[in-house]
Chain A
Amino acid sequence: AQSVTQLDSHVSVSEGTPVLLRCNYSSSYSPSLFWYVQHPNKGLQLLLKYTSAATLVKGINGFEAEFKKSETSFHLTKPSAHMSDAAEYFCVVSDRGTGRRALTFGSGTRLQVQP
């Protein structure tokens, strides 16, 4: 069975400082992993995805994530936070051969950016 755990429900950073949003996953097969961002009262927007190519994945808006199989982690980082990065972020896993379920969503991390 697949699962995903976002280790922090809230993260607060100052503008211009680095961002780290942590995600651990559990998967029976070779997973595909995604990070999505959600602004208030909006749908989810894809930031980046990992599908067994390069382990360091670059996404939009300066975000990147590193797939570490030995640690079963897929943490999201950004070197310098911007006020517009304040939003909710979801780590998502898609597992081969899991039957009905195509994607499993983490519970989300709310990122606050202080001026």
Chain B
Amino acid sequence: DGGITQSPKYLFRKEGQNVTLSCEQNLNHDAMYWYRQDPGQGLRLIYYSQIVNDFQKGDIAEGYSVSREKKESFPLTVTSAQKNPTAFYLCASSIGGRLGYSNQPQHFGDGTRLSIL
């Protein structure tokens, strides 16, 4: 069964600590995305990647970093510079399109809920 796997489901961060959220897909999609979801709000784009070894900042990239060394994997690191990291983080993928445009739907993982200790 093809899909997107996010791990862990729940994650706790101590002050000053970096944490990494995992996202793996076996859909053979070129494009991958990270979103942050806060209560009562829609999804906000953190980073996205259209191809391996390339990624772009989204609307709220400050305090986050990503890598795209393999097509299947797009991990997100929440650094200590992100002062309000408590949120639900969603990873998505889609068939690749020209940068900044896609009429292809995105497929989502089940998310990681990050909290501060």
Contact = CB atoms under 8 A, between A and B. Distances in A.
Contact of A99 (B40, B90, B100, B108): B100
A9 interface: yes
A44 B108 contact: yes
Chain B, interface size: which category? Answer: 20 to 34
B102 interface: yes
A43 B45 contact: no
Interface of A: 9, 32, 34, 36, 41-46, 49, 51, 90, 94-103, 105-108
Contact of A98 (B41, B101, B107): B101
A113 B95 CA distance: 34
Interface of B: 4, 6, 31, 33, 40-45, 48, 56-59, 88, 90, 92, 97, 99-103, 105-111, 113
14 contacts: A41-B88, A41-B111, A42-B111, A43-B111, A46-B105, A46-B106, A90-B43, A95-B101, A101-B45, A101-B100, A102-B97, A105-B43, A108-B40, A108-B42
